[in-house]
Amino acid sequence: MTSGPTDNRIVRYLKEVRAEIRKVTWPSRDEVVRLSTIVVATLLVASLFMALVDYLFSWLMRLIIGLGAGL
Between the alpha carbon of residue 26 and those of residues 21, 29, 31, 34, 55, the distances in Å are 10, 9, 10, 14, 42
Q: How many CA atoms lie within 13 Å of 69's alpha carbon, on the beta-carbon side?
A: 6
Tens digits of pLDDT across the chain (71 residues): 455 666 789 999 999 999 999 999 999 999 999 999 999 999 999 999 999 999 999 999 988 888 766 55
How many structural domains does the chain have? 1
What gap in Å lies between CA 51 and CA 24, rounded to an integer?
Answer: 39
- What range does the domain containing 57 cover? 3-69
